[in-house]
Amino acid sequence: MTIKLNDIEAVPGNAFKNCKLKREKYADILSQIIDTYPRGFVLAINNKWGEGKTTFIKMWQQKLIDSQYQTVYFNAWENDFEDNPLIALMGELGSLTNESTKPKYIKSVKNAAYLVKNIAPTLLKEIVVKHTGSETLGNLMDGVTKAMSSIFEESVKEYSERKKHVEEFKDSLAHFIADTNQGKPLIFFIDELDRCRPNYAVSVLEQIKHFFSIPDIVFVLSIDKEQLGNAIKGAYGSDLLDSDEYLRRIIDIEYSIPRPTGSDFLTYLIDYFDFNSFYQSVIRLNHGFLSHEPRSFQDICNILFYGSDIPLRQQEKIFSLARLSLKSYPELATSDPFISIFLAFIKINKADFYNDVYDKKLTINDFHKKTWQIISQSRHELYSDLIWLEAALLNSYNNYYDPNNNKEELFRRLSNNEIELTITFDSLPREKENFNKILKNNVEGERGQRRISMDHFLSKLNLLEPFIE
């Protein structure tokens, strides 16, 4: 059993073979855009963290390679230990060289070397060395004044030289790219930019704008635009900065990969983490009180994840934790997926709520309001499943919250031996009678007689119990 998703391989010749989200059609659309504007532009693929951007662009990159495009992949986050990203960007371009193009590449690197040179600190160091010792304060100030005048003269000269070298760099780089791409644009992927240090992220963007604005390069930025906007504001030290306008000056086309529809990713996670080897084991299926669990597992997954906006990476973590916790269940112990998967969901996705549950900080009514707020947003087609889930959670939390099994927190018994709910259920008046019956069955029926406490599941999710071999 694996604890996390491995990187999905982009297969040469069939790049999207292992894609479970049916995203190849979006790569085809983007490739058509490149074919339409081959002279170059900046494309941003804007999706939230954990939406599978990296997997997508690596598969798209392989598809482009299969179509004889030259490509470069640069993980900005892995390289933000550098002070100047121009060094790393040029280093990545070096992978495209051959014997015939190497001289032009070397010329570009030499021109780039001047652009990363920083003269001011060297001059300042010379000033400090020159004006320390036994000189008087007056002489020191005179010296600094003269030195600052010298710095200004050097700065003017440096500006002219720098401007000249920028043009020489762009010209030499353009010639190198033209000889490399064989009539097609170079596709330069930059990934994880929004995770970099703010200053480094901004430096990458500005160097793309100032140094790499040459023909025949298409830059593909894989970003979470909101997070990158925060980095830009941080780099400039102002929350008032219009980061959207800043990015509009750099990004020519913005594209968002549509979220997977239906149960594609859900099915993939269930298969990948091999839940069926637990829920469909012969010994569990042959015991009546456990035989309902495969259906309950599928129902709770559909309730929580089908059509949800939870990031894919968050979903992965929820399923990974849930599957790991199942290792501590004896073969004939109930795992009640309605409860265990819901708790795994809130542990990863709503940690404050989970901690309050674990610490018994919520009254029964507060617990009900929070759980129902989550459940009622489901697009699940069977409303009765939502009622069953809420009743199971309430009963289990009540048994945990009140080990003495005082059901008066949930209902009071009337003179005719019927029960009346004490919790507020105004959001669903038409289902109140049905909910009464289900909750009563949970409390007094077979499931209630087992008095399932939430502690049974919490200890396993917190990995406080040994695994069962």
Cβ contacts of 105 within 8 Å, gap of 6 or more: 93, 94, 96, 97, 176
Q: Are 337 and 293 spatial neighbours (Cβ–Cβ below 8 Å)?
A: yes
Select from 326, 355, 356, 332 the least CA-distant residue to 283.
332
Q: Is 7 left (phi over 0), alpha (psi -120 to 50) or beta?
A: beta
Phi, psi of 189 (to 5 degrees): -85, 130
Select from 87, 59, 313 the least CA-distant residue to 189.
59
The pLDDT score that the predictor gives to residue 131 is 34
Residues 444 and 411: their CA atoms lie apart, in Å, by 12
Two tokens, residue 296: 């309950």
CA 4 to chain centre: 14
At position 175, the amino acid (one-letter code) is: H
H or E element that contains 166? helix 137-180
Residues 386 and 86: their CA atoms lie apart, in Å, by 55
Q: Are 56 and 50 spatial neighbours (Cβ–Cβ below 8 Å)?
A: no
CATH class held by domain 24-255 = alpha beta
Residuewise pLDDT in 10s, the chain (469 residues): 667 777 788 999 999 999 988 899 999 999 999 999 888 899 999 998 888 899 999 999 999 999 999 999 999 998 887 777 887 888 888 888 888 888 888 888 777 777 765 433 343 334 333 433 434 333 433 444 444 445 445 655 565 666 676 788 888 888 888 887 777 899 999 999 999 999 999 999 998 888 788 888 999 999 999 999 999 999 988 888 899 999 999 999 999 998 876 677 888 889 989 999 999 888 888 887 788 899 999 999 988 988 777 888 899 999 999 999 999 998 888 899 999 999 999 999 999 999 999 999 998 889 988 998 898 887 766 677 788 888 889 888 988 987 766 565 676 777 776 666 677 655 555 566 667 667 666 666 554 445 788 999 999 999 888 888 6
DSSP for 354-405, please give it.
Answer: HHHHHTT-S-HHHHHHHHHHHHTT---S-HHHHHHHHHHHHHHHHHHH-TT-
Q: Are 144 and 127 spatial neighbours (Cβ–Cβ below 8 Å)?
A: yes
Residues 175 and 172: their CA atoms lie apart, in Å, by 5
3-state secondary structure of 253: strand
Residues 92 and 86: their CA atoms lie apart, in Å, by 10
Cα angle for residues 43, 202, 48 (degrees, 5° grid)? 55
Residues 115 and 109: their CA atoms lie apart, in Å, by 10
The domain ranges of the chain are 24-255, 264-461
